[in-house]
Copies of this chain bind each other. A is one copy, B any other.
């Protein structure tokens, strides 16, 4: 028995053709590769390699929800407590985020954009939108829209749209 026969797509390398087996039939395989491509090209557009997609998303969510608590931020983005702490530390060191004690609960901190953070976010938004546009440059508007809907369906496990 040869397992090499059920192929589906090939790749040319070293003057030879290789077979991906059943991998190309898997949505997860393509999702992984597209997401990796997104990550790997992200810093090219942003310039600053220390600004990762995750760190950008933290700034974005704080901008959209001024004063939310660190735990809330963590829950919204699916971060662990330490991950939230570290991401906020990163932006605080750059004077883009600030922590403020809440009068109603001395344990909690509300997270806010600083003035510099607002400017940084406005700039980042443009760059990230440009990067995302470049990532999907080969798609029609219709395909881009469909892709977004279908990905949401996957993420919400069938309860979406």
Question: Which A residues have a C-beta under 8 Å from some C-beta of B?
Answer: 1-4, 7, 11, 13-14, 16, 18-23, 25-39, 42, 53, 57, 60-61, 63-66, 68, 72, 75-76, 78, 113, 118, 121-122, 125, 128-129, 131-132, 135-139, 143-144, 146-148, 150-160
Contacts and interface: CB of A to CB of B under 8 A. Distances in A.
Nearest to A14: B72
Given A32-B53, A131-B28, A60 B20 contact: yes
Nearest to A33: B155
Contacts of A23: 57, 60-61
B28 A132 contact: yes
A64 B21 contact: yes
B125 A154 contact: no
A121 B4 CA distance: 12
Contact of A34 (B13, B57, B151): B151
B19 A65 contact: yes
Given A3-B118, A34-B151, 15 more contacts: A3-B121, A3-B122, A13-B75, A16-B72, A20-B60, A27-B144, A30-B148, A31-B35, A33-B151, A34-B35, A37-B155, A135-B154, A138-B156, A138-B158, A147-B150
8 contacts: A4-B65, A20-B60, A20-B61, A27-B38, A27-B136, A30-B152, A31-B151, A138-B158
